[in-house]
Amino acid sequence: MIGEFEYLILTAASRLGDNAYGASIRTEIENATGRACSVGALYTTLDRLEAKGFVTTRMGEPTPERGGRSKRLVRLTSSGAKVASDFFRAVSRISQGASWVTNRSTR
Amino acid sequence: MISRMCWALSLWLSQALEASEREAAVGDLVESGSPGTMALRAVLGLALRRQAAVWEDWRIWLLFTTMLLPVSFSLCLTSQAAAHESAVYTWMYANNWDWNLAKNSGFWYVFRDAAMRLFRSLLTIAGWSWSMGFVLGILRRKILLTSPTLLFLLLALFQFGNLPQRFTLFLMNRYAPPKLPILPDSNAPITAITVYNLIFPWIVLAIFVAPPTILGIADGEKGSSLSLRSRIGLLMGAVLATLTILPQAPGFGLLLRASGREWILQPNM
């Protein structure tokens, strides 16, 4: 089972496809959650996901808008897609009947 | 202005990161147009996380317990002993100088002997510091930032807390016969002077410990490109050379050898 932040990264990487790298993943996560995503948390979690075989990363070409620096491109692996899908299903199942899902009063 | 300074600081701090990670993380911050303060916080956060992660590796704990902690303590201890010795001679010659002494051949005999003894002990301290640095340098890149920082922090901590002196006193109390009277410090007039008591040990650390350690780290880093067999050989040699500091008399040697205890008690026997 993966954690919430790991799920967010895997999902963002899946949505972004070939354009998945540090800055774009951060933007996706910040737009989705409304919270700041630190570079430190992102890169240490990416390392963990790569060690588990859920993503692969490689350095891209340097670009001028990055001051001539390269991107660390992220690609979701099939096992990464599977654990993210498992996480989503588990969250969906456990959320059924919850007040914030059915719009019932919490009283 | 502040933002530019923070950016400059971030770029300097990013040297602590591995090259590819520095490239990716700083590039992300540039691309997203992060202000300097945010970039600084981000780079600092990432560097701290990376260094904290190093402590999950059992090898850094092995290095810490078997090398960094005992060697830094012993380095501080021997530096204090050398500083004390040099303070005594400095006081003796500087505060009691008389030009007539220079005409006395006996004076030059004692002076030469004292200078040689001091030179030998300071050179040995520099040698130990260099070999300690070499060990840290030759070990893998990831622990490089943590271990030298830790070494210098430990040295400063031991020096600030005056732990070597406390340790020697503890040993004297532990091993001295119960009714042995406390010996008066024959160098009390010198150790009472702040410059000799507090500044000299720092000078020894700053000149004979810190630069050789930094030089050793740089040399060790160069050695990390050698073959595995050569690296292991060099590492073992440096470790053994460094560990020879431990059985020295003004230090852990007192615990190991009866002669050390005799050395402590000698003036009163």
Question: How far is residue B95's CA from residue B5's CA, in Å, rounded to a whole number?
Answer: 48
* % of chain B with per-residue pLDDT over 70: 83
Question: How far is residue B133's CA from residue B148's CA, in Å, rounded to a whole number?
Answer: 7
String of b and e for B207-238 (b: at least 16 CB within 10 Å)?
ebbbebbbbbbebbbebeeeeeeebeebbeeb
User: What angle is formed at CA A59 by the lines to CA B15 and CA A14, rounded to 5 degrees?
Assistant: 120
pLDDT digits (tens, 9 = 90+) for B139-186: 766 565 667 777 788 888 888 787 777 777 777 676 665 555 556 667
**B contacts of A63 (beta carbons < 8 Å):** 27, 31
Question: How far is residue B112's CA from residue B119's CA, in Å, rounded to a whole number?
Answer: 10
Question: How far is residue A54's CA from residue A40's CA, in Å, rounded to a whole number?
Answer: 19
A57 Cα to chain B: minimum distance (Å)? 11
Question: How far is residue B93's CA from residue B96's CA, in Å, rounded to a whole number?
Answer: 5
Does the distance separating the beta carbons of A69 and B27 come in below 8 Å?
yes
Assess B142–A contact: CB distance below 8 Å, yes or no.
no
Q: Which residues contact A15 (CB under 8 A, 6 or more apart)?
A: A28
pTM above 0.90, yes or no: no
Closest CB from B21, B31, B48 relative to A43: B21
Closest CB from B20, B32, B46 relative to A40: B46
What is the predicted ipTM?
0.85
B10 Cα to chain A: minimum distance (Å)? 13
Say what the pLDDT of residue B184 is: 64
pLDDT digits (tens, 9 = 90+) for A12-59: 999 999 999 999 999 999 999 999 899 999 999 999 999 999 999 999
Strand partners, A70: A62
Query: Rounded mean pLDDT of B99-120?
Result: 84
Q: Specify the higher pLDDT residue, B13 or B26.
A: B26
Query: Rounded mean pLDDT of A54-78?
Result: 92
Closest CB from B31, B45, B49 relative to A65: B31
Q: Which of A69, A71, A74 would you mutate first to test chain B, the one with the most B CBs within 10 A?
A: A69
